[in-house]
Structure formats: structure tokens, C-alpha cells
Amino acid sequence: MKEFGSVGKNLKLLKEELQGVYDGNGGIISNPRMEALKEEINTSMEKEETMWCQRSRIAWPKEGHTIFFHSKTSQRRKSNCIVGLRDTSRRWQEEEKVVEDIVVSYFKDIFFSDPVDKLEEVLD
């Protein structure tokens, strides 16, 4: 069996480090260290997915399919949500309406602006 160590803890540390590099980089989205961290995060997420698949095979006979999948779905739903976003002033916002406005504004800016000015941003 493949050894995973503490995949969740490692993933959390990598995400925190990525956020620190982003914050210390003046909001610049890409540099070699950030790209390396993103790759490590992707690898850790793949390990986590494999770990959960293996755990599901172990837990299925013990818990029964309904209880098992309900608990895992509830757990995954909690971790697969957007808690907050940074606004245009780089302030962290968690209020649901404000986060919604940030997302709508971002996509309006990309898709409804002058295509000549924003073409490279959309393609990246």
C-alpha cells in the first residue's frame, strides 16, 4: 500500500506557503516558486484523492454505503466551498454577497470590456 503520511496537513501547509508567496509578491500571479508550489499542491491533491479512494474501499463494508457516502459527501462539501476572496483593494472578504459581487465583477470585467485591451488576460 502506498504511504501517504499526513497529506491533509501537507496540503494545508503548501496552500499557506503559496498564499504567503502571493502576498509577499505584491499580488503578482506567477513566478517560478509559485508555479512549483502549485505543482506540489496538485500532486498532494492527487495523493489525497487516491487516499480517499483507498479509504472508501476499507470503510464500505464496515459502515454500509449510505452512511459512508453521506458522511464523505458532507465532509467534501464543507471543504469544496469558497470561504472568501480578495477584492480589488486586496482586502479579504468573506460576506456571501460581497464575494458574489467580486466574482460577478471579475467576469464582467473580463468578458464585457474592450476585447483588444483584455485579450491576453482572457487567453492566460
**Do 51 and 58 form a contact (C-beta atoms < 8 A)?**
no
Mean pLDDT of 17-42: 81
Among 31-35, 54-58, 86-90, top mean pLDDT goes to 86-90
Chain segment 7-25, per-residue pLDDT in tens: 778 888 888 888 888 877 7
**Do 20 and 36 form a contact (C-beta atoms < 8 A)?**
no
Q: Is there a single domain that holds both residue 93 and residue 77?
A: no
Q: Is there a single domain that holds both residue 89 and residue 123?
A: yes
Q: Is there a single domain that holds both residue 71 and residue 113?
A: no
Give the per-residue pLDDT at 47: 85
Number of neighbours of residue 37 by Cβ within 10 angstroms: 19
Q: Is there a single domain that holds both residue 91 and residue 77?
A: no
Residue recorded with cell 452512511: 67
pLDDT for residue 118 is more than 70: no
Q: Is there a single domain that holds both residue 77 and residue 96?
A: no
Cell of 55: 479509504
Q: Is there a single domain that holds both residue 102 and residue 62?
A: no
Domains of the chain: total? 2
E strand or H helix that includes residue 92: strand 92-93
At 18, the amino acid letter reads L
By residue range, what is the domain housing residue 62? 1-81
Q: Is there a single domain that holds both residue 89 and residue 46?
A: no
Q: Is there a single domain that holds both residue 21 and residue 43?
A: yes
Q: Is there a single domain that holds both residue 9 and residue 24?
A: yes
Mean pLDDT of 52-67: 64
Integer Cα distance of 84 and 94 in angstroms: 4
